[in-house]
Amino acid sequence: MKVDDFSARPALGVGLKITAILLFTCMSAIIKSLADDVPAGESVFFRSFFAIPVILIWLAQRGKLKSGLKTKNPMGHVWRGLFGTTAMGLTFTGLGLLPLPEVTAIGFATPIFTVILAAVLLGEQIRLIRVTAVAMGLVGVMIILWPRFSNIGTMEQTATIGALLILMATMVRSLVQIHIRQLVQNEDTAAIVFYFSCTASLLALCTLPFGWVMPDLQTFGLLVLAGLIGGVAQILITSAYRFGSASMLAPYDYTSMLFAIVLGYVFFAELPTMMMLAGAALVISAGALVIWRERQLGMERGKARSVTDPKA
């Protein structure tokens, strides 16, 4: 079976998707725990480089080590790597400055910005329902961000910078989504996943002169673990879309909010504010409305979603 083939086994697809989201959230928690000691560029390198062997093993087991890595558009992978690495670096930096649930909530705006970019860059028509969803989503983002921007010039200024970084990451991730919509038309999802990890590793190495640290054994182990978890999660999310439709699986992205709240409280003593939860609820509702409308219009976005993880 090809990686892009579809076999309807919805329960398996849902299980794979939720497990992948949990693993991605755990990976974010690991990166956050190391943010004070490890530069973001170094974390990006470990996250990307140690995902490569996991992906290669997966391809070898499926007999696609050669055919799955063929590409007709090498520059397309370079651009995907550049955009994705930028989004990842911004996210990893922001994780050290903001609570995990807040980072997750702002990230939910990706589908909203994707709708806007699709209209601007691809000429997609957006009618009343999606215009309403975009408006709802932007209001939700403003509610989440308002406490941060109202504290400019105070002791909370680092959190304000973090909020800006995560917002920028979300916008760049939307650009990644648009780019991948074009890339999946001629490229295998396995190739997109693999070449992103390779490109991100190389780009992250460029930050070496800007202050990488020599990690102790425990830190090194956690960095490697983050990469391995990221690789496994990417495989699971790619596999999920082989067993369930995009419109069915997409809403399960929002389980990351629950995972983020639990992990944030247990490991970082973080509790979301009522304003943040209210804004997140509005953004989630807007995203769900976008997904529902795409389903009504018959837009199949499974391939693109399967290679666009929540943190890349």
pLDDT of residue 3: 42
Long-range contacts at 302-306 (CB < 8 A, ≥ 24 apart) = 302/6, 302/241, 302/245, 302/246, 302/249, 303/4, 303/180, 303/184, 303/189, 303/241, 304/177, 304/180, 304/181, 304/184, 305/237, 305/241, 305/246, 305/249, 305/250, 306/189, 306/237, 306/238, 306/240, 306/241
Domain parsing of the chain, residue ranges:
20-306
Residue 299 to residue 291: CA distance in whole angstroms? 9
Residue 63 to residue 152: CA distance in whole angstroms? 54
Give the model's confidence band at 275: pLDDT under 50 very low, under 70 low, under 90 confident, else very high.
very high
User: What's the pTM?
Assistant: 0.90
CB of 25 closer than 8 Å to CB of 104: yes
pLDDT of residue 1: 39
Least confident residue range of 90-104, 120-134, 208-222, 294-308: 294-308
The predicted-structure confidence for 73-118, as pLDDT tens digits, reads as follows 899 999 999 999 999 999 999 999 999 999 999 999 988 898 888 8
Residue 194: both structure tokens together: 């693999």
66, pLDDT greater than 90: no
CB of 40 closer than 8 Å to CB of 93: yes
Q: What is the mean pLDDT of residues 286-312?
A: 70
Q: What is the mean pLDDT of residues 224-243?
A: 91
15, pLDDT greater than 70: yes
The predicted-structure confidence for 276-289, as pLDDT tens digits, reads as follows 999 999 999 998 88
pLDDT of residue 2: 45
CB of 222 closer than 8 Å to CB of 33: yes
258, pLDDT greater than 50: yes
Least confident residue range of 31-35, 73-77, 213-217: 73-77
Q: What is the mean pLDDT of residues 109-135?
A: 86
Least confident residue range of 160-174, 181-195, 298-312: 298-312
Q: How far out from the chain centre does Cα 173 lie?
A: 7
